[in-house]
Amino acid sequence: MEVAIVIVNYRTADLTIACLKSLEAARTEAALTTFVVENGSADDSEQRLREAIRQNRWESWCELLPQAANKGYAAGNNAAIGAALNGPTPPKFVLLLNPDTEVRSGALRELLKFMAERPYAGIAGSRLEDPDCTPQRSAFRFPTIRSELDTGLRLGIVSRLLHKWLAAPPVRNDAHATDWVAGAAMLIRREVFERIGLLDEKYFMYFEEVDFCLQARRAGWTCWYVPASHVVHLVGQASGVTDTRKAPSRRPAYWFESRRRFFIKNRGALAAIAADLAFSAGYVTWRMRRPLQGKPDLDPPHMLWDLLRHSPLLPRVW
């Protein structure tokens, strides 16, 4: 087996089945096995996925792994990654795919070709795009105090001054090294797992791929963005958190907890506090400036309060 593909389903059976259909052509591009983790959805997902696998005759390359409970996205991925790496024929690569993705023809081939030519590359991410081929930002820099200030402030002159630290740089059309790539379509070399282990399951959802790419970098591996590999990403339809088709909804507590964990784990508590203060100062300024500039209000409700109540600045509030 050259590639183990991992898809974590949580109450997204329709999306997962569509993703599997898009993978049928990829079987000509690599020797692959797909693991679908049914992550304790407590609905009819398991039954529907089993039926889809049977009806479409995917049994030879698709395996369903039901989980008793939803322990989070990282834990769901790890269930399949561990099964693949500990199996009789461990894969050379693991491809993490969101259920709300559809893999374009040639996408897997381009990732594998890129990695074959660069043995020092540990992680490679696809170009994520809308169904009409509009590119999405999917190559990022690690969060820092400066990037948090910019994210909260949203002021052009400050963004230009802080361009080296922007969390989400403009989309580029060339393959290039980057800090981290979106976990929606991320190819990982087996040796990376052997060196640093699996995803950190203390992240319930969000920031787990950021943390993983950082640990890989610290172990000497590079991470790359490969725009020749095209994957459609129906943003937010799997989680419901970042669905741009709907009015912004309040972010769940686990998003803030994951952000908090990333900063404390990797930067320390003082840096986590500084990051919260930087974002808060910028965000308050933005909220006062927004109506004067006639900008639309696209922020999740209670964003500042939710961030502060999960911050080391304040006692934990539940």
* Boundary (domain end) residue, out of 192, 208, 233: 233
One domain, residues 161 and 176: no
Two structure tokens written together for 168: 């989400």
174 three-class SS: coil
Mean per-residue pLDDT pooled into runs of 10, the chain (318 residues): 95 98 94 97 97 97 97 98 95 98 97 97 98 97 97 96 94 98 98 98 98 98 98 78 67 96 97 97 97 95 95 68
Q: Is residue 14 part of a domain?
A: yes
* Boundary (domain end) residue, out of 208, 233, 258: 233
* Whole-number Å distance between alpha carbons of 275 and 277: 5
One domain, residues 58 and 199: yes
One domain, residues 111 and 199: yes
Pair 95, 4: CB distance under 8 Å:
yes
One domain, residues 9 and 125: yes
What pLDDT shows up at residue 246?
62
pLDDT digits (tens, 9 = 90+) for 255-281: 999 999 999 999 999 999 999 999 999
One domain, residues 226 and 318: no
What pLDDT shows up at residue 318?
41
Helix runs in 41-179, H state only:
45-55, 73-85, 107-117, 145-153, 156-161
pLDDT digits (tens, 9 = 90+) for 87-144: 999 999 999 999 999 999 999 999 999 999 999 999 999 999 999 999 999 999 999 9
30 three-class SS: coil
Q: How many domains does the chain have?
A: 2
What pLDDT shows up at residue 248?
83
What pLDDT shows up at residue 244?
52
One domain, residues 215 and 315: no
66: domain range? 3-136+171-233
* Whole-number Å distance between alpha carbons of 111 and 117: 10
What pLDDT shows up at residue 245?
55
One domain, residues 106 and 70: yes
Q: Is residue 263 part of a domain?
A: yes
One domain, residues 217 and 279: no
75 three-class SS: helix
Mean pLDDT (the chain, rounded): 95
Q: Is residue 36 part of a domain?
A: yes
**Looking at residue 85, which CATH number applies to its domain?**
3.90.550.10
One domain, residues 211 and 93: yes
One domain, residues 60 and 198: yes
Two structure tokens written together for 186: 């991320």
Q: Is residue 241 part of a domain?
A: no
* Boundary (domain end) residue, out of 233, 267, 286: 233
Q: Is residue 238 part of a domain?
A: no
Q: Is residue 239 part of a domain?
A: no
Residues 6+ apart with CB under 8 A from 207: 258, 259, 261, 262
Read off φ and ψ for residue 214, nearest 5 degrees: -70, -45
135 three-class SS: strand
One domain, residues 156 and 92: no
Q: Exposure pattern of 266-294 as b/e (b: 16+ CB <10 Å)?
A: bbeeebbbbbbbbbbebbebbeeeeeeee
What is the 3-state composition of the chain as percent helix, strand, coil, each rounded to the nearest 5? Answer: 40, 20, 40
One domain, residues 90 and 180: yes
